[in-house]
Chains A and B, each alone.
Chain A
Amino acid sequence: MTPIEFTPSLLVDRRATRPPPVPRRSTAGILFGDLTSALLTIVTGGLILLAAPAIAKWAIIDAVWTTGNPSACQQAGACWAFIADKLRFILFGVYPPEQQWRPLVVIGLVLLGVLMTLAPALWGRRLIIGWTVLVAVMLALMWGGFLGLSFVPTSRWGGLPVTLLLAVVSLGLGFPFAVLLALGRRSAWPVTRFLSVFTIEIVRGLPLVGLLFVASILLPLLLPADWTIDKLGRTVAALTVFAAAYLAEVVRGGLQGVPVGQQEAARALGIPYWKTVCYIVLPQAIQKVIPPLTNTAIIMVKNTSLVMIVGVFDMLGAGRSAATDPAWPAPYPEIYLFVASIYFVICYGISRYSLWLERRVREKDYQ
């Protein structure tokens, strides 16, 4: 081997090309730094001070925290006792009460899956297999009918596990379809391109509620009589198609951001097309569209609440029907606040996680 002689390359410090950090401002500086800030601070502060006593009076001071007697909630304050009383119903719906440890385990399994997904080091084929197994276990556990577990039809499933399952399954199944649609839309073959554009535009052009009605009412009429597909299954299908169409456009945006040279380099190296897509192009494309992907994921989590319209009993549906109990005096604000706070925790979690991912991608570029 010939020894190579050359001058050592100049050490280029990439940090030098990084924009200078914005100096941190003190809290007082942020609040009263200039006239506009000061005015805004005073006005919003005033509004908060005006509203705070009323809210505190309702939510804390006058609130009924525990009672066995619903009529104790006739007063003006918030009736948190109602939430305590109906908690199991909101979380698990009409699932047989003595079997409710099963949906509880399902919630735990979803959390386990989420924890598994958080660390980028674990991303890969094993994670996909892991989630598939987890979802299969969750469904089996919900259904039962084996090992002495009683059979519970999907019509009795409800509450938080249904919300979580709908979100996880529709996003998880929707994503691979989205990738295919996005690739199809950029395909050189006119037929593939047309079918992808057609699917995406039709699905995006329909409101989700319409899609859910088609799936739950129209589909059984169109299919042969002996084909019975579970209503929950049809709902999942509708949500999946909907998620796929929206995700497809996000993924396409990412694909457009990956330079042509990346694919050319892969081709020149002899890497087969699908491996190039999976290992070279998609990882880069997805990194570029983390914010809109997060956006779609959050929207899909909240969209699952629309399944209530076709009679699937998700968490919001369970909450609503809990509130109609005539024994309690119209505890609507409490129940919606409670359900909303669960949605908020989920969505805020997704949002914070995506910010962390973005920062991680940036650090890989500079450092």
Chain B
Amino acid sequence: MTTAHRLQDAPDNTAVLIEDVHKWFGEYQALKGIDLAIRRGERIVICGPSGSGKSTLIRCVNRLEAHQRGRITVNGVELTGNLRNIDAVRREVGMVFQQFNLFPHLSVLENCVTPLVLARGTPRAEAVAKARHFLTRVRIPEQADKFPGQLSGGQQQRVAIARALCMQPSIMLFDEPTSALDPEMVKEVLDTMVALADDGMTMIVVTHEMGFARRVADRVVFMDHGKIVESAVPDEFFSHPRNERTKAFLRQILH
């Protein structure tokens, strides 16, 4: 813990530092030397064809996957096998999944309360107050007593965002948050994310929602075959893509 605290106060303005990261699944190499630095408050959109390693990359940031070479440092804490460091990082990093991954046996309110109680030892009353606050923020306080199975996909994803926010992370990871949604529900989730961005949250978002990227992202990163092919501010990325693969990808996704 001591190292974690010391490094966190470092003057450096970097939230996430990824240096030459490699990752293999057995024989298959998913990440081939990724370098990426993300400042506090920065919003990064990562896109790329499926199998390009973008999900793997953000799953390495909170160590749902372990990288085998290179360094990942989150708020000054390096991710190694050290469990304390992993805990410290997960305290700082919230995650939203493509499939929501709400706990189906718990009510919406309990989905937010239980992690606080189990992971942080927050007193129940305080946890409930916090949960209601964040459910209000994602605009579904009235659904608190329902079960996830009774909500629409968009509502479920907003609950998932509220659940992550309850832990008060300084960095949020979004792994294709709208890909499993019916088209008419995409907007409500994206709007929630835009509001979060406006509040200054550091965000790493894997998505194909280019409208969102244009509006919110500070930088768009394009990945292919486990490498970062192109990284630019949205204007430049969309109007003057340099790499051929980026151009091909954008042609496919924008038409």
**Minimal beta-carbon separation of B195 from chain A (angstroms):** 4
Whether a CB of chain B sits under 8 angstroms from the CB of A4 is yes
Give CA–CA (A11, B140) in the complex, Å: 12
Contact-residue bracket for chain B: 35 or more
**Minimal beta-carbon separation of A138 from chain B (angstroms):** 32
**Which of the residues A271, A283, A284, A287 comes within 8 Å of B118, measured between beta carbons?**
A271
Whether a CB of chain B sits under 8 angstroms from the CB of A45 is no
Question: Top 10 A-B pairs ranked by shortest CB distance?
Answer: A6-B191, A265-B101, A261-B101, A12-B152, A4-B195, A268-B95, A270-B119, A270-B90, A269-B115, A2-B198
Contact-residue bracket for chain A: 35 or more
Which residues of the partner chain A approach B155 to less than 8 Å between Cβ atoms?
Answer: 9
Whether the Cβ atoms of B167 and A269 lie closer than 8 Å is yes
Whether a CB of chain B sits under 8 angstroms from the CB of A201 is no
A-B contact pairs, 17 of them (CB 8 A): A1-B137, A1-B199, A2-B199, A6-B139, A6-B192, A9-B185, A10-B152, A10-B185, A262-B101, A265-B95, A265-B101, A269-B163, A270-B91, A270-B119, A275-B118, A279-B118, A280-B103
Whether the Cβ atoms of B64 and A268 lie closer than 8 Å is yes
Which residues of the partner chain B approach A276 to less than 8 Å between Cβ atoms?
Answer: 118
Whether the Cβ atoms of B137 and A261 lie closer than 8 Å is no
Query: Given A365-B147, A366-B149, does the pair A6, B188 have CB atoms closer than 8 Å?
Result: yes
**Minimal beta-carbon separation of B225 from chain A (angstroms):** 25
**Which of the residues A9, A267, A367 comes within 8 Å of B188, measured between beta carbons?**
A9
**Minimal beta-carbon separation of A284 from chain B (angstroms):** 5
Whether the Cβ atoms of A270 and B103 lie closer than 8 Å is no
Identify the B interface with A (CB < 8 A): 62, 64, 87, 90-91, 93-95, 97, 99, 101-105, 114-115, 118-120, 137-140, 147, 149-152, 154-155, 158, 163-164, 167, 184-185, 187-188, 191-192, 194-195, 198-199
Give CA–CA (A362, B204) in the complex, Å: 37
- Extra A-B contacts (18), CB below 8 Å, given A4-B195, A14-B149, A268-B93: A1-B199, A5-B191, A8-B188, A10-B184, A10-B185, A12-B151, A14-B150, A259-B101, A262-B103, A264-B97, A268-B64, A268-B164, A270-B90, A272-B119, A275-B118, A279-B118, A280-B103, A365-B149
Which residues of the partner chain B approach A279 to less than 8 Å between Cβ atoms?
Answer: 114, 118
Whether a CB of chain B sits under 8 angstroms from the CB of A266 is yes
**Minimal beta-carbon separation of B37 from chain A (angstroms):** 22
Whether the Cβ atoms of B191 and A264 lie closer than 8 Å is no
Whether the Cβ atoms of A4 and B192 lie closer than 8 Å is yes
Which residues of the partner chain B approach A1 to less than 8 Å between Cβ atoms?
Answer: 137, 199
**Minimal beta-carbon separation of B91 from chain A (angstroms):** 6
**Minimal beta-carbon separation of B76 from chain A (angstroms):** 18
Which residues of the partner chain A approach B158 to less than 8 Å between Cβ atoms?
Answer: 9
Whether a CB of chain B sits under 8 angstroms from the CB of A228 is no
Whether a CB of chain B sits under 8 angstroms from the CB of A26 is no
Whether a CB of chain B sits under 8 angstroms from the CB of A7 is yes
Whether a CB of chain B sits under 8 angstroms from the CB of A359 is no
Which residues of the partner chain B approach A10 to less than 8 Å between Cβ atoms?
Answer: 152, 154, 184-185
Query: Given A14-B150, A364-B149, does the pair A269, B90 have CB atoms closer than 8 Å?
Result: yes
Chain B residue at minimal CB-CB distance from A261: B101
Whether the Cβ atoms of A269 and B187 lie closer than 8 Å is no
**Minimal beta-carbon separation of A272 from chain B (angstroms):** 7
Which residues of the partner chain A approach B118 to less than 8 Å between Cβ atoms?
Answer: 271-272, 275-276, 279
Which residues of the partner chain B approach A7 to less than 8 Å between Cβ atoms?
Answer: 187-188
**Minimal beta-carbon separation of B60 from chain A (angstroms):** 12
Whether the Cβ atoms of A269 and B119 lie closer than 8 Å is yes
Interface residues of A in 206-223 (CB under 8 A from B): none
Chain A residue at minimal CB-CB distance from B147: A364
**Which of the residues B90, B138, B152 comes within 8 Å of A268, measured between beta carbons?**
B90
**Minimal beta-carbon separation of A102 from chain B (angstroms):** 41
